[in-house]
């Protein structure tokens, strides 16, 4: 399930950058790719949920990891919405970067799957 979780968010990031480039070209396809991206959000949440499900009790850091994971998704949506409207995206990008690095750090530190930071 760890591999499925990582695959889901890697594909989601690729789709996210595809949506942004399509939005910049004002392509009508941006909407369709954004819908597929939202399906991948569900895969991220479902695979993360399965990882949580393997635990007998859920330590507080896992709650933090879940909230940060959802924050990453929220920040991606914020970047896309603001790019589409032609508004400034700086704050949204900073949030995305901070949330992503936190999710990466917490995911790799927590005891399931790969251990890079622990
Ligand atoms: C795009 C957002 C997300 C990113 C970038 C992300 C990243 C990661 C990474 C790098 C890992 C480590 C995999 C491993 O164990 O080797 C991980 C594990 C995990 N993620 Fe996520 N994640 C995201 C969203 C979520 C969400 C929304 C949830 C909750 C529903 C979640 C729950 C978990 C859980 C429970 C683990 C296992 C932690 C452990 O290793 O003990 N993640 N995630």
pLDDT tens digit sequence for 6-15: 999 999 999 9
Q: Which residues of 79-116 are buried (b: 16+ CB within 10 A; e: fewer)?
A: bbebbbeeeebeebeebbeebbebbeebbeebeeeeee
Q: What is the average pLDDT score of the chain?
A: 95
Question: How many whole angstroms from 6 Cα to the centroid of ligand 1?
Answer: 7
Question: How many whole angstroms from 12 Cα to the centroid of ligand 1?
Answer: 13
Question: How many whole angstroms from 8 Cα to the centroid of ligand 1?
Answer: 10
Instruction: Give the pLDDT band of residue 118 (cuts 50, 70, 90).
Output: low
Give the start-to-end residue ranges of the domains of the chain.
Answer: 2-109
The finding on whether 15 has its CB within 6 A of some atom of ligand 1 is no
Kindly report the protein residue whose alpha carbon is nearest to atom 41 of ligand 1: 112
Tokens matching residue 105: 């750090």
Q: pLDDT tens for residues 54-100?
A: 999 999 999 999 999 999 999 999 999 999 999 999 999 999 999 99
């Amino acid at each position: 399930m760890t591999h499925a979780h990582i695959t889901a968010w890697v594909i989601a990031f690729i789709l996210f950058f595809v949506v942004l480039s399509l939005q910049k070209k004002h392509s009508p396809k941006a909407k369709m790719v954004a819908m597929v991206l939202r399906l991948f959000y569900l895969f991220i949440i479902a695979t993360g949920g399965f990882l949580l499900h393997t635990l007998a009790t859920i330590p507080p850091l896992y709650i933090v990891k879940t909230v940060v994971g959802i924050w990453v998704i929220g920040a991606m949506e914020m970047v896309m919405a603001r790019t589409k409207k032609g508004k400034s995206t700086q704050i949204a990008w900073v949030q995305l970067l901070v949330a992503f690095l936190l999710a990466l750090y917490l995911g790799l530190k927590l005891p399931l799957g790969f251990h890079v930071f622990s």
